[in-house]
Amino acid sequence: MPSFSSPTWITTLLTVVVSSLVTLALLLPFSLGSPKSKASHSRKIIPSPRDTQLPFLSRGQASALPYPPDILPGARDVDSPYGVMRVYEWGPEEGRKVVMVHGDTTPAPLLGPIAKALVERGCRVLLLDLWGRGYSDTPLDVPHDVRLFTMQIFFAIASSRLPWTGATSGGFSIIGFSLGGGISMSFAAHFPYLLNSIILLAPGGILRAMPNEYESIFFRYPSIVPSRYLRKLVGKVLGVDLAGVPHSGTELKRTILSQADAKVPGKSKSMETRALNAPDAVQWQFDNHQGFIHSFISTIQLGPITHQQSDWNKICNIIKGESMGMPGSSLSCKIYNSKILVVFGDSDGVVVGKDVSEDLVQMLGGPEHVEFKTVPGGHGFPLPSSDEVVKHISDFWKLEVVD
């Protein structure tokens, strides 16, 4: 038996190590894939109806869809590492810049009437379909959490030919509805210097409880459920038509799409094109966006709907004028020691205004830094009650219609 200090033992050890390294080097290309094959699989996405439906329709057929691709002005498709996303941007180039973020179910045009009214009042608006909704792809290998949606906002503003960040941009304001409210507050918590103002419409983020239908164990562990059954489960939650049988009796369906929310306005004073029919758009999205169910479930699991108190406390400390940690930093932050506007629906059973307002006032150390308003409707109020919402926003920002 050779000594551990003998040259023979050292030579043997080196031979074994070198041989192992050579073997590993030879096996790595097979286990990891060649650079070419790795690059070709770098983006795992499910394409939106932009690629799977629109190419097979005439312009007239596309215009007749529940979500026509030209429903809002300034449409563009933006490529990114996570897929292609739909963005709308229009309005006076020198106007107040406003990013608008929709909720977890209905795509960006739900906020169309509000956006168009803001443009009439001199604003430059930017709306985006969140991942897996509308005409935005679904990234499969990325969790749908606040990090993904925060990056999506950056992709959207970076694709503009106008500056939305930087010293010469003037910053921008943000309006978030439902899930978009949670996204907006988390975005503000990490990038407060970019913002001028925050407005929340029935915001998610600090809900005390998820809607009952969202609490299904199958949503927490979707990998154990056959895809066909998972699709039916999501369909029942959303109240869409499954095999010709509408599940209109579900609690969430009644909350979101019934009463005022299911009444589509005829011709709003601020509309240039026909309004979105929310139930029809949700049905179309469910039927035609092959990645919607994946994005919807991943968002329920990981999105900023509940338990976002850390980010909310962080931005609330800035809004109420507490120290930002660096000398002089508050001077360049326009939302430092400011006020936010929060609007609720008077019959909303998803985002309970009383609960959210109590928790938000506590985070802000009192009511001085927040203004609460209530409008008619359930959780889908931004569409049927758009005129009331616009009035509150206009009063808060001191906007007037521009001739």
- Tens of pLDDT, residue by residue over 204-218, are 999 998 877 777 766
Query: What b/e sequence results for 263-286 when a residue is b if at least 16 CB atoms lie within 10 Å of its CB, and e otherwise?
Result: eebeebebeeebbbbbbebbbbbb
What would the pLDDT profile of 248-296 be if each residue is shown by its tens digit? 444 444 444 443 344 444 444 444 546 799 999 999 999 999 999 999 9
In Å, how far from its chain's centre is CA 58? 30
Distances from the Cα of 180 to the Cα of 44, 226, 283, 357, angstroms:
24, 30, 21, 17
What pLDDT does residue 131 have?
A: 98
**How many Å apart are CA 199 and CA 175, to the nearest integer?**
5
Cβ(161)–Cβ(97) below 8 Å: no
Which of the pair, 77 or 402, is modelled with greater confidence?
A: 77
Mean pLDDT of 229-247: 77
What pLDDT does residue 254 have?
A: 45
Residue 10, pLDDT > 90, answer no
What would the pLDDT profile of 79-132 be if each residue is shown by its tens digit? 999 999 999 999 999 999 999 999 999 999 999 999 999 999 999 999 999 999
What pLDDT does residue 40 have?
A: 39
**For residue 344, what are the β-bridge partners?**
374
What is the sign, positive or negative, of the torsion defined by CA atoms of 115, 116, 121, 126? Answer: positive
